[in-house]
Amino acid sequence: MEEWEEVEIQTVSDGLDATPSELHAAFELSGDHLGEVRDRHTMMLVTSGELPERHMDEIAPERRLNWIIEELNGRRHSDGLSIPLHGAETESVDLSKGLIEGHSILKLRVGNFERNLPLPANYDSIKATINGGILDIRW
């Protein structure tokens, strides 16, 4: 019995049989200027959002707290909040409170990560515990 080895046949295209989506993808990959356009567009979106965010921060700091809690996949409670910190070493978690522009702020630092959490105006004291990888902050 004879042994046969399969030979792969490659299709050569002269470019005229390409689909529009293939041509569009090739254009996007070859266009260096598009990266610059995307970067400038992103920068414009970020800077245009800064003014409304700064205004909201001044008139309703509790909304900013809700945004940060949502960003960190946490939960808001009537007297505090909970933030999951699974995988973070307890020694690398640091909390400090202070004032920034007349607002009470709680600074959360986990390693290089840092967020300023606005505190409600009527808080008495801060109590923080870590249990099962979840940081629980009460006021």
Which residues of the chain fall short of a pLDDT of 70?
1, 11-15, 31, 49-54, 56-62
Between CA 50 and CA 56 the distance in angstroms is 10
Question: What's residue 61's pLDDT?
Answer: 63
Q: What is the pLDDT of residue 14?
A: 64
User: What are the boundaries of each domain within the chain?
Assistant: 16-59, 62-138
Q: How far apart are CA 67 and CA 124, in angstroms?
A: 23
Amino acid at 110: V
Cα–Cα distances in Å, from 94 out to 50, 55, 109? 27, 28, 5
Question: Which fold would CATH assign to domain 62-138?
Answer: Immunoglobulin-like (2.60.40)
Q: What is the pTM of this model?
A: 0.55
Per DSSP, the residues of 65-124 read HHHHHHHTT-EEETTEEEEE-TT--GGGEEEEEEEETTEEEEEEEETTEEEEEEPPTT--
Confidence (pLDDT) at 117: 87
| pLDDT at position 53 | 65
